[in-house]
Amino acid sequence: MIDSQTLEKKIAELLDDFYKRRISRIQTLRLKDTLKRKNPYLFRAIGTQKASDIVEQILRAYISSSDEGIFGDAFFEPLAKFVSGGHVAPSEGVDIAIETETTYKAIAVKSGTSVFNAQSKKRQAEDFRSLANRLRKIQKHFDPIVGYAYGKKNQRKADAEFRELAGQAFWEELTGDPDFYLKIIRLMKDYPQKHLPEYQQAWDAAVNRFSREFIQEFCFEDGTIDWEKLTRFNSGYK
């Protein structure tokens, strides 16, 4: 079992990487890329009048969505590899492999429990089957697992092609510790707060940069929003 000091150091290291990626994402984000995916009719319908309001709304929506993916890649997946003692799996769609004398566990690490639709779940099963076929010669029990780093998940089908474990159950599977999922949140301590000033600076700069560009591109000279120009950019012919 990993001692608390080592685990805390690893968590701090992963949080450093998360914030580095998070800040980089916001610094390189472009206004027009985000506007293409937003609904100008909704902004108009709810009475938005200020360029800064639109800018902050699209930034918050983008960052909220982006953070989930970044956190999974920068924190959950490497933490799972670290605490499991496993190695990188030699297959697409599988993140961790843990071998014992009798068993080969293949684990795909996901953030929350809402990542699959019918097609992607089918593809995940195919990835597990492909790896199982490659490993037949080692003659070990193949145990495919999708692990969700947070949330709850009930395994409904006894004949499912892979096990699904979420939250407490997933981290206990990796570490043997039923309280490990709480240790993660506990050992974050005040590390996130140390990164907030730098992140806030990047956020404020992005708001200023986007607001200036939005006013230049999509406002009349009196400062009011040119809704037709914005809508043509968003939804007109290419």
Report yes or no: 82 and 10 within 8 Å, Cβ to Cβ: yes
Alpha helices (H) along the chain: 4-28, 31-35, 40-45, 51-71, 77-84, 118-134, 168-175, 180-186, 191-218, 227-235
Distance, in Å, from the CA atom of 179 to the CA atom of 189, rounded to the nearest integer, reads: 17
Report yes or no: 124 and 162 within 8 Å, Cβ to Cβ: yes
pLDDT at 157 over 70: no
Q: Which domains are seen in the chain, by residue range?
A: 1-84+190-238 (1.10.3250), 85-188 (3.40.1560.10)
pLDDT at 238 over 90: no
Sign of CA dihedral 194, 195, 197, 198: positive
Residue 235: burial class (beta carbons within 10 Å; 0-12, 13-18, 19+): exposed
Q: What is the band of 125 on the pLDDT scale with cuts at 50, 70, 90?
A: very high
Token duo for residue 231:
């809508």
Q: How far is CA 169 from CA 1, 7, 164, 166, in A?
A: 17, 19, 9, 6
Q: What is the band of 156 on the pLDDT scale with cuts at 50, 70, 90?
A: low
Q: How far is CA 185 from CA 28, 43, 182, 201, in A?
A: 29, 37, 5, 25
Q: Residues 19-46: pLDDT tens digits?
A: 999 999 999 999 999 999 899 999 999 9
**If you count them, how many residues does the chain have?**
238
Q: What is the band of 51 on the pLDDT scale with cuts at 50, 70, 90?
A: very high
Q: What is the band of 134 on the pLDDT scale with cuts at 50, 70, 90?
A: confident
Q: Residues 173-231: pLDDT tens digits?
A: 999 999 999 999 999 999 999 999 999 999 999 999 999 999 999 999 999 999 999 99
Sign of CA dihedral 105, 108, 109, 110: negative
Closest CA to 202 of 51, 41, 20: 20
Q: What are phi and psi of 108, to 5 degrees?
A: -105, 120
Mean pLDDT of 54-74: 91
Report yes or no: 107 and 95 within 8 Å, Cβ to Cβ: yes
pLDDT at 1 over 80: no
Q: Please report the pLDDT score of residue 136 as a whole number.
A: 86
Report yes or no: 106 and 124 within 8 Å, Cβ to Cβ: no
